[in-house]
Structure 1
């Protein structure tokens, strides 16, 4: 007797989790099946709020309870989703993909385990791209996973404690990369320090936040009005915005920079370096003999099945999918990954039903919301842009809508409200 159709999803981020839930929604059509979600962590992380964790609770409670509150505002245990799905159709396995045997139809994990599959969905995302800059791996904090944000928070907390004891006079924070993550982080850190200054805890000379971007502008993939509004907000918060500036090397306590206009090299203080320089493909893709482009990203058909690979699918940041009209790569956004997840889930189901696959036709324009410290954000809604508090409200609504899409509405509302209350302490 044939067993259930085994679907393995590697990666429990926006795309991977949504693919699992979309498959469960199709249980009547799939009939006998089981979904196994593989991830290196035990929780689904809502990464758009990680910048909040960097300073969350530092002005109120630096104790262990505060850290747990911060975690609960951005993370949902995968076990919660397992419990919700009836008849044990969804399972979670903690592990990291290291091998793929297409002939045997099984994957290998770092700890030596193997898992058999009938359909494999790769939703692993990307890894931080350091571009080989000396000192980044050793001295910079990345902001991609929850432990990264907690380490940044611990460093800021250590400075505040040393400052309170009179052991440290000044902290200089350098954020490398002027995309959304870098811009949001710079704004959040500057807003936090400014609040500490207004409260009399710090004087203005005790902190410096610098945002370094090699290109000519922050948020380079956003429309000009958004870029201008973001820079204006950053400068109002006291951020030293250095565009057209290349980071050459990081050493303990300092960064070596080159200003593009005149090629001048300079040294700047950098007690804390936050790396937000973009992502690169996981190194495993090539060793797994998967179809990749010149940069190493997965290549997929319009159905999101990998090129030349039966029953192997890709979605999210890991896939280089060119827009059929513009020829430009579809951006690495959470909303892209969740939309692609629905396409993959439908096509896996259709394959079992012996029906033709549907194709991924992404929109040419994606709405975005960029929080910029306090009750301030820029919401690019296409036809118009909301700035300040209206943009902040738009962001909070977007957060709630996402939580409601993956959780029962009561649990989603509790999670959203808890996170909002904790993080608003810094706003």
Structure 2
């Protein structure tokens, strides 16, 4: 059978979900072309963060080459679709033509201004990366102008920021402005009370798709933060410096962010498909086929699609619905190709998560779980990380953690900035070098033994871990093991304490302490291998020959770790390895409490300290660049096969 040609139009949540499924299930018998006007997948759920400057634009742009570039049956095309010739089965773009056997239209949605005068000219929508960046630039410019404005009324209007619509997008944007307000006030030396935030809603309540108890919690939080919540305020006109409200006073403002509604992408009007009466959505049957073109290989999915429920209402325009419609459409295309049974679309939505700023949110999940504050934000982050697992992208999982937790500024994360590593790692350099020298000295004792450090020909002799003497204290390896003796990383401390005790003319006492106390014998973390670990250690080191080999290997490993730390090379891995080795020594009965600081220093040095006066400054970027090129290929502004 010849390969089936499948064209997916739109790389949003629906298009990406469908493309991944089609690519996985039709590896040998389909060629898939994914067309989008951008070379990236836009993370709509992070646009408000980009708009308010919490994260950079790259955080909301997932490069399609990184997501799909290794799938050999997927061709990525950056272009704009102008027509779908359904008779000849050709998708026409501004720069090419793509024949198809099946086409999936997943263009997504766009803001709906409901015909309110002035929205297009003076309002700011939030439905694309371009929208988010436009808002971000405007916020920076308007506040700079406001702080030097002498006309009090004009200054007040400039410092008033209004959001039209109290749905998820509007409230999340408003939440980001709550954080942004404090930062701008500090930066421009103005009183935060001069900045007014308002949400304008035509309905009597906000967040109307949430249960009232959860929505009311959000309302109380907004009031606490000084936000003006103007319900029953229908906007009738938008001007440059004010908005008109039905049956109410005009609101002076130079900033109105319009989030009141979504409609299907109006670009699809040119495709000649049946549309819903409202919202410009393409009508689909229960199998996600375009109505009027059933059996002709034309499917629709995502926000552009209008599959109707029993009450005649289209599915909600949310991420879950987009992914599920995309999955249903792709499954039915696969069924047509492989001869399986089609299945109907049934929306199953797990709940709603709304962040209001970087630290607080509300959630209603699985029809019974109500969360707010820290727990709601934690759940939102977990859901986002789960999405990264679903699209099989460890790269973007790491990027998300970095952007949301470790590279944040101004305490704009749920950990109130405590997790951020945006501080100067320079001050970790002395500790890194000292720690590396500590491991080098301990490893040197294992190599040199009782020899002279300055005479290499005396090395590897008596006392060294390279003789035929077993230094592990495991009873099954040697018959005459002195209880508590250890030649692990803490040899220096134990020798010092023994000398002090004999010099004092007293019997040494083994006492607990986290630092060496004169005259006392340091206490081992474990006197012997714990019972639960003994079978594992016996399996790993069953006899003397294995033990002697392990001694040599561990000595070289410690030298390698020490040099890596001193030179600042792979410090994250090296520090993690030292923490692991320390734990292993502890569990082997070969480590003292006085040296337990090894673990905590290792964790501290996982902060990227090798990038300051270390080789990681050069090696890590080089590896990332070439590894990305090898794994994902070369990202280009226009993707083609050749």
Name the TM tier (shorter chain).
0.7 to 0.9
In structure 2, the partner of 1:396 is 381
In structure 2, the partner of 1:27 is 26
CA shift in 2, pair 1:405/1:424, >3 Å: farther
Q: Which structure shows the higher strand fraction?
A: 1
Query: How big is each residue's C-alpha offset from its partner over 1:383-411, in whole Å with a ceiling of 9 and x where there is no partner?
Result: 021000100101111111112211333x1
Which residues of 2 match residues 3-402 of structure 1 at below 5 A? Answer: 4-28=3-27, 31-56=28-53, 70-85=56-71, 87=72, 89-109=73-93, 111=94, 113-162=96-145, 169-170=155-156, 171-197=159-185, 201-258=189-246, 264-295=247-278, 296-309=280-293, 310-324=296-310, 328-363=313-348, 365-381=349-365, 382-402=367-387
Is the CA contact (8 Å cut-off) linking 1:128 and 1:142 kept in structure 2?
yes
| More relative contact order, 1 or 2 (CA 8 Å, 6+ apart) | 1
Gaps of 5+ in 1: 58-68, 259-263
In structure 2, the partner of 1:412 is 396
TM-score normalized by the length of structure 2: 0.59
| CA distance in 1: counterparts of 2:308 and 2:104, whole angstroms | 19
Helix, strand or coil at the partner of 1:370: strand
CA shift in 2, pair 1:112/1:374, >3 Å: closer
Helix, strand or coil at the partner of 1:299: strand
Helix, strand or coil at the partner of 1:52: helix
| CA distance in 2: counterparts of 1:148 and 1:397, whole angstroms | 27
Gaps of 5+ in 2: 414-642
Deviation of 1:45 after TM superposition, in Å, equals 0.9
CA shift in 2, pair 1:178/1:215, >3 Å: same
RMSD: 2.2
Helix, strand or coil at the partner of 2:56: helix
| CA distance in 2: counterparts of 1:210 and 1:178, whole angstroms | 10
| CA distance in 2: counterparts of 1:91 and 1:81, whole angstroms | 12
TM-score normalized by the length of structure 1: 0.88
Query: How big is each residue's C-alpha offset from its partner over 1:277-319, in whole Å with a ceiling of 9 and x where there is no partner?
Result: 2112233444422122222322212111122312011111111
CA shift in 2, pair 1:163/1:340, >3 Å: same
Instruction: Say how many residue pairs are matched.
Output: 402
Deviation of 1:100 after TM superposition, in Å, equals 1.6
Q: Which structure shows the higher helix fraction?
A: 2
If you compute each CA radius of gyration, which structure gives the higher value, 1 or 2?
2
| CA distance in 2: counterparts of 1:305 and 1:91, whole angstroms | 23
| CA distance in 2: counterparts of 1:235 and 1:129, whole angstroms | 28
Is the CA contact (8 Å cut-off) linking 1:191 and 1:237 kept in structure 2?
no
Helix, strand or coil at the partner of 2:136: helix
